[in-house]
Amino acid sequence: MLTFVGLGLYDERSITVEGRDALRAADRVFAEFYTSRLVGTSVDALEAHHDVDIEVRDRAGVEQRPEPILDAAEDESVVFLTAGDTMISTTHVDLRLRAMERGIDTRVIHGVSAAQAASGLTGLQNYRFGKAVTLPFPRAHGGDGVPASVVESVAANRERGLHTLVYLDIKIDDGRGTEAGETYMTADVAAGLLAEEWPDRLAVAVARAGSPDPVVVADRLSALADREFGDPLHLLVLPGDLHHVEADALRTLGGAPADLLPE
């Protein structure tokens, strides 16, 4: 059996009860933290809290060399961990299909994802989000500013009146530590990049979703670029057309300026 378990958003306690039970009952536990990670904890703390040993795999060890995971799952109960929800953004459908091709039973135990948190914390209705985008560091795509693909996706959502969830780039060398070569794009940096295209557009910065002290700030992209939002992880939302309840939520929950909201 290969069980995919989402750890949720913040620390070792963010996992669901079902996921916790599967984790603690597993014969072997693998994880990846290159797509995202839990900033409120570490791998060592996860191991101690759940009394398990976790084998952290890098991108190549999951996507190109998954055999140790699959070999183990042929004979044992194996859990594969990711931050957030294991099949949203940190999707590992390919690994699941490879397991099924080898006759390995699989199941998915979901965790809370950033997409859910973005809707819940901002008050924007989940079904009114369009295609999500990831904003990379300029050096990551070999250019300056915002990639054309991101601009086009945001514009297409806007034309349809839909909100855009903007995931912010993460570069992590080692999942075990908290300072081992980790780089997180922050909301102010992201807002500054996007402000080159849309300086006066309303946006919402969300910081530390799932933590005891999440931050939600709604303002112009140019204004958000001059703010600091504290520790990671951060994301941005670019609202589309606003229902009056959504507008009220952004005003109350995010302090959105009145001149950016429909009357």
The predicted structure's pLDDT at residue 163: 98
165 assigned ligand-binding residue:
no
70 assigned ligand-binding residue:
no
Pick the CATH number of 2-109 from 1.20.1260.10, 3.40.50.300, 3.30.70.2190, 3.40.1010.10: 3.40.1010.10
The predicted structure's pLDDT at residue 258: 95
216 phi, psi to nearest 5 deg:
-130, 120
Q: What is the pLDDT of residues 117-139, one digit of tens each?
A: 999 999 999 999 999 999 998 87
* Overall average pLDDT of the 65-71 stretch: 96
Q: To which residue do tokens 């390995």 refer?
A: 104
The total number of residues shown for the chain amounts to 263
Q: What is the pLDDT of residues 103-120, one digit of tens each?
A: 999 999 999 999 999 999
Instruction: Determine the topology of domain 114-260 in CATH.
Output: 3.30.950
258-262: long-range contacts at Cβ-Cβ below 8 A with a sequence spacing of 24 or more? 260/202, 260/218, 260/219, 260/220, 261/202
219 assigned ligand-binding residue:
no
168 assigned ligand-binding residue:
yes
Q: What is the pLDDT of residues 26-46, one digit of tens each?
A: 999 999 998 888 999 999 999
* Overall average pLDDT of the 5-26 stretch: 96
Contact 138, 145 (CB under 8 A): yes
* Overall average pLDDT of the 58-68 stretch: 93
Instruction: Report the C-alpha gap between 59 and 62 in whole angstroms.
Output: 5
Percent share of the chain, pLDDT over 70: 94
Question: Where does 7-151 show beta strands of DSSP type E?
Answer: 28-31, 54-56, 78-82, 106-109, 133-135
Contact 184, 234 (CB under 8 A): yes
Instruction: Report the C-alpha gap between 202 and 219 in whole angstroms.
Output: 5
CATH 3.30.950.10 residue spans of the chain: 114-260
54 assigned ligand-binding residue:
no
The predicted structure's pLDDT at residue 44: 96
CATH 3.40.1010.10 residue spans of the chain: 2-109
81 assigned ligand-binding residue:
no
The whole-model pTM stands at 0.88
